[in-house]
Amino acid sequence: MTIQPLSLISWNVNSVRRRLDQLVRVIDRWDPDIICLQELKADTDMVPADAIAAAGYQHQAVAAQPGYNGVAILSRLPLTDIETFAWADRQDARHVFARVANTGVGVHCVYVPAGGDVADRAVNPKFDFKLRYLEALADHFAGSYGFRDPMILAGDLNVAPLPTDVWSHAKLKNVITHTEIEIAALERVKRSLNWIDTQREVIGDDDPVFTWWSYRAADWEATNKGRRLDHIWVTPGLKDEITDVEVLTAVRHWVPPSDHAPVRLVLGANP
């Protein structure tokens, strides 16, 4: 299919109030049509909706939660069919959906649970919740949409599936975000609608790509012990519209930093 040019930035902002100025800087520099945010860490009445609207994003689909979680789709274009979802028997604000008016494109903004520290669902309820969340997400996509439905899935999926998505496959293969069981669960989500991983579609599977670096490393760029936790996928009908995908690594330097860098996707236009 052919769509009008559309640009989208996805960012785990790690507190929308704390990084509002940085969000405005992102807008000024890259001017995306759509922004997907994760980890708003604010209740509905504390999300700076007016300031975001003043920056050009009057159309907002928000699932807020006080203190943690929270996701939002911010748009220069009107949004329709807004829905919020909660999976795996928890009412966490981790998934919001909207369609971009006049394009037909649906956007899912998702924040998958981190999963805690122990990669054993029998002893770690957080890890079990993460796996059940991914299972429920796969079931939802497979049961609610079709392969021809033009959609974007953007967010912090908290899984780095490929060896080149982590700084050391050997050292992290038993660490949460890169374990075999998580990778298999994410692959099931991917198969649910034959999603296309836009970053790997453009860059290939062999080159390292990271979007997250721990706060524990002061000189994070030099050590470069990163992971690719932030993803933008599209359904097959949008595959030929992928023009450009990039990790906005410069934003990771901005103070105070989120531990995630934004990811930018351009569809149907020259970057």
Q: What is the pTM of this model?
A: 0.97
Instruction: For the sheet with 196-197, list strands across it.
Output: 79-85, 95-100, 105-111, 151-156, 230-234, 196-197
Q: By the 8 A CB rule, do 160 and 168 touch?
A: no
The per-residue pLDDT for range 185-237, each reduced to its tens digit, is 999 999 999 999 999 999 999 999 999 999 988 889 999 999 999 999 999 99
| Cα–Cα dist 233/245, whole Å | 11
pLDDT at 27 over 70: yes
Whether residue 221 lies inside any domain: the answer is yes
Q: Judging by DSSP bridges, how do beta strands 105-111 and 226-227 pair with one another?
A: unpaired
Q: By the 8 A CB rule, do 232 and 263 touch?
A: yes
Place of tokens 């979680």: 69
**How crowded is the C-beta side of 245, counted as CA atoms within 13 Å?**
23
Q: How confident is the model at residue 135 (pLDDT cuts 50, 70, 90)?
A: very high
| Cα–Cα dist 173/76, whole Å | 41
pLDDT at 109 over 90: yes
Whether residue 144 lies inside any domain: the answer is yes
Give the three-class secondary structure for 233: strand
| Cα–Cα dist 99/83, whole Å | 10
Total number of domains constituting the chain: 1
Structure-block tokens of residue 71:
């996701």
Whether residue 247 lies inside any domain: the answer is yes
Place of tokens 């405005």: 24
How is the chain split among helix, strand and coil, in percent rounded to 5?
Answer: 30, 25, 45
The CATH number assigned to the domain holding 176 equals 3.60.10.10
What is the predicted pLDDT for the residue at 3?
A: 72
pLDDT at 271 over 80: no
* Residue 158 dihedral angles phi and psi, to the nearest 5°: 55, 30
Q: Judging by DSSP bridges, how do beta strands 151-156 and 105-111 pair with one another?
A: parallel
Whether residue 203 lies inside any domain: the answer is yes
For helices 180-192 and 125-144, the axis angle rounded to 10 degrees is 20
Percent of the chain with pLDDT over 70: 99
Q: How confident is the model at residue 2 (pLDDT cuts 50, 70, 90)?
A: low
Q: By the 8 A CB rule, do 80 and 99 touch?
A: yes
Q: Is 268 left (phi over 0), alpha (psi -120 to 50) or beta?
A: left
What is the predicted pLDDT for the residue at 138?
A: 98
Whether residue 158 lies inside any domain: the answer is yes
Percent of the chain with pLDDT over 90: 95
Whether residue 1 lies inside any domain: the answer is no
Average pLDDT, the chain: 96
Place of tokens 């670096």: 213
Whether residue 173 lies inside any domain: the answer is yes
Whether residue 107 lies inside any domain: the answer is yes
Residue span of the structural domain in which 151 resides: 6-267
Helix intervals (H) in 204-249: 220-223
pLDDT at 154 over 70: yes
